[in-house]
Every structure is written in C-alpha cells, then in structure tokens.
Amino acid sequence: MASAEGKIYVSPPPPRIPVDPAVLPPQLKLTESQQKLYDEVLEHFTKEGYELPEVDNGALTEEEKFWLSCECLLRFIRAVKWASAQAAIKRLEGTLKWRREYGLYDLITASYVEPEAVTGKMVIWGYDVDNRPALYLRPSKQNTEESIRQVHYVVWALERLTELMGPGVETLALMVNFADRAKNPSLGQSRAVLNILQTHYPERLGRALVVNVPFLLNAFFKMITPFIDPLTRPKLRFNPDCIAEGLFTPDQLISEWNGTANFEYEHEKYWGALVRMSAERRERLWEKWREHGAKVGVREWDLKCDIALEDMAKPAGETAAAPVTEVKPETETETEVANGAAVPPVADVL
C-alpha cells in the first residue's frame, strides 16, 4: 500500500525467488559424520512412543513436529558445535519445554502483543541482498514501561520473521537506529532477552547493523558483551553505508537508513497487513508440511521451494510479491555461527 505521495505503509511480501529444489543450500550438505549425528537426533524424536521428558502430556503436538524440521535440528546441532547427538537433543528438548511454558502456542498472539506495536518501535520491513527479512528496531519510539510483554513482543516478531524467510534463508538482518534515544536500556531485561535468543533461537542472525549510537550507550555495550557468544560479535557492525557496501538494494531499505523506500509507520495500515501476510504464509507452509508427511524432520527447503515454484508460475501481478531476485543460499561460514541470534540491540528496544 502506497499513498499518492509515494509513502509506503505495509511490509513487502517475501521475494519471488527462482529455485531448483534439487540444488540444496550449503547448510543441508552434510559430511558422512555430520549425517550420522543428524540421523541420531532425528531418530530420537521420531521413535515410536516418544514423549518429551518430565512434562505432563509429553507427546509431541502437531505444532512441535512442524517446528522440529530438518533445518531446526541442524541449527541446534551446529549450536553445540557438532559435539554430540545427546548435547543437541538436550537443547532441543529444553526449547520444546520453554516454548510450551512461555506461551508460544497460546499466550503470545498478535492481539496480545499489539499494544507494544502501536508506535512502530519494532518493524518488519524488506529484505537484504541475501534475501534475509529485516527487523528494524527504533528505540526512540518506545511506548510502554518495562514488562514481560515487551519480551513476548520480541519473540512474536522472531516467529513472524522465520515464516517470511524464503528457500535457503534461515537468518534475519537486524537494523537498529538509536537516533533520538530516550533512555538507556535495562541491563537485567537485556540479559533476559539475550538468554532467550542465544538458547532458543540459535543460528538466526545473519547480520546486525547499528547506527547513531550515543556515547553513553557504548558503556552499555561493554557491559553486556561478556554475555554474547564470541562467534556472534563479528555479525555486529556500526554505522555502515548499507547501499554502498552492497548490503541492501535502495528499494528494500527504508528512507531513514538512506534507502529509497519511503516507509511511514501508521499502525492501522501496517499491523493488520503484517498479521494477515504472516498468517497466509504460515497456512501455506502448514499445507505443504502436511503434503510432505506431517512429521518431524521435514525440510523447510522443500516446503518453501514448493511455495516459490507456485508463485513463480503465477502471472505477473497476480501475486503481490516483491521483485524477483536471485536466490543466494547462506554460506557455510554464516551457518556455522553458534547462538547466532544474540546481539545487544534486540534487548535495547525494550
């Protein structure tokens, strides 16, 4: 949706990406020893009668089986640095329990977190040159007092971002603008968010770009750096020129970051459109998952390739897709970063 003045109020849909399902992305190409370890983890969760230990109603739900994709298992295996199947299983089961207890399947809904969204302090908009969805954090738009719902809003956004990732894309681009910063973040809540991201969303950060960092915030970064996985720190870059450095095309970068997308946040226009787009995307993913057997270990690659091929077959203009771009599967280096979702700016928007 754009106005007569060229203003944009809604997020663009996932890019239409031409893909060949037979050409697997690097993160799915395993060595013999890696395949053996993966098979052990998969067998654990698919054995007859499996139940999540130490919980009531331990049988896996459909939502949990859907979440336990091939790529999900591999993300957690990489997060433990291929140490052992048991180490990955322990982390996966810990996250399965956390997702239940934290309310991923019931409490954390769009209507519940919407009060946190009304000023546009956190916006999902556009894709970088590697087709990663971008999450913009704008701390100056803070509108609520510190609470658990603020953390829930971050989790809700992360779930939506994973739905909007195309074939071969497993990470996001984090964009933080500290212009007109109102106050310093809470160290305690920042640490809590970092713990969630490092523990339950490993391997989800592609890049983190930060601009307009005030002098006093440098001290905060120094305080919180010890809590960040050391392999994550190189993902964090300050004051980049996103277009000149080839990180974004101008049309996929909002104007406050010197892009040509004249995005303006109007909650009534943005929020409903985002919720509908992500719900439609989720429904299509579920439909494809059921077609592929509705079981643990289904490849996200297959589901998303099916959707991409359907979209590419539609006449131009029939879908509201973003411009066609070349698929760029993430490199082996990018997918080897353990605990990749954790960087201080996420917590700082709270």
Q: What tens digit of pLDDT does each residue of 228-265 get?
A: 667 677 788 888 999 999 999 999 999 999 999 999 99
| DSSP 3-state of 206 | strand
Please report, for residues 51, 97, 101, 267, the alpha-carbon distance to residue 55 in angstroms, rounded to integers and kept in the order given: 9, 8, 10, 39
Strand partners, 172: 205
Taking only the tens place, the pLDDT of each residue in 160-191 is: 999 999 999 999 999 999 887 655 667 777 78
**Lowest-confidence region among 26-35, 189-198, 299-308, 315-324:** 315-324
| The token pair that represents 135 in the structure block | 């999450």
Distance CA 277, CA 155 (A): 18
pTM for the predicted model, two decimal places = 0.88
Could you tell me if 160 and 274 are in contact, meaning their C-beta atoms sit under 8 angstroms apart?
A: yes
Distance CA 154, CA 344 (A): 13
Can you give the CATH number for the domain in which 209 is found? 3.40.525.10
DSSP state of 184: P
Number of domains in the chain: 1
Mean pLDDT of the chain: 87
| The token pair that represents 98 in the structure block | 């956390």
Identify the CA nearest to 328 among candidates 214, 184, 166.
166
Q: Is the pLDDT of residue 304 over 50?
A: yes
Task: State the residue for tokens 């909007």.
Answer: 164
Residue 42: per-residue pLDDT: 99
Percentage of residues in the chain with pLDDT exceeding 70?
A: 83
Q: What is the mean pLDDT of residues 1-13?
A: 80
Residue 184: per-residue pLDDT: 60
Strand partners, 205: 172
Residue 316: per-residue pLDDT: 63
Could you tell me if 221 and 344 are in contact, meaning their C-beta atoms sit under 8 angstroms apart?
A: yes
Residue 224: per-residue pLDDT: 63
Half-sphere exposure of 59 (CA within 13 A, CB side): 4
Distance CA 310, CA 235 (A): 34
pLDDT tier at 318, thresholds 50, 70, 90: low
Highest mean pLDDT among 116-125, 142-151, 203-212, 213-222: 116-125
Distance CA 215, CA 84 (A): 43
Residue 323: per-residue pLDDT: 45
Domain range for 331 is 1-350
Q: Is the pLDDT of residue 347 over 50?
A: no
Could you tell me if 176 and 137 are in contact, meaning their C-beta atoms sit under 8 angstroms apart?
A: yes
Could you tell me if 138 and 177 are in contact, meaning their C-beta atoms sit under 8 angstroms apart?
A: yes
Could you tell me if 256 and 125 are in contact, meaning their C-beta atoms sit under 8 angstroms apart?
A: no
Could you tell me if 281 and 164 are in contact, meaning their C-beta atoms sit under 8 angstroms apart?
A: yes
Q: What is the mean pLDDT of residues 101-113?
A: 97
Q: What is the mean pLDDT of residues 60-69?
A: 99
Query: Residues near 242 by Cβ (< 8 Å), separated by ≥ 6?
Result: 209, 248, 253, 257, 258, 259
Taking only the tens place, the pLDDT of each residue in 38-56 is: 999 999 999 999 999 999 9
Residue 227: per-residue pLDDT: 63
Please report, for residues 27, 178, 257, 344, the alpha-carbon distance to residue 143 in angstroms, rounded to integers and kept in the order given: 39, 15, 22, 20
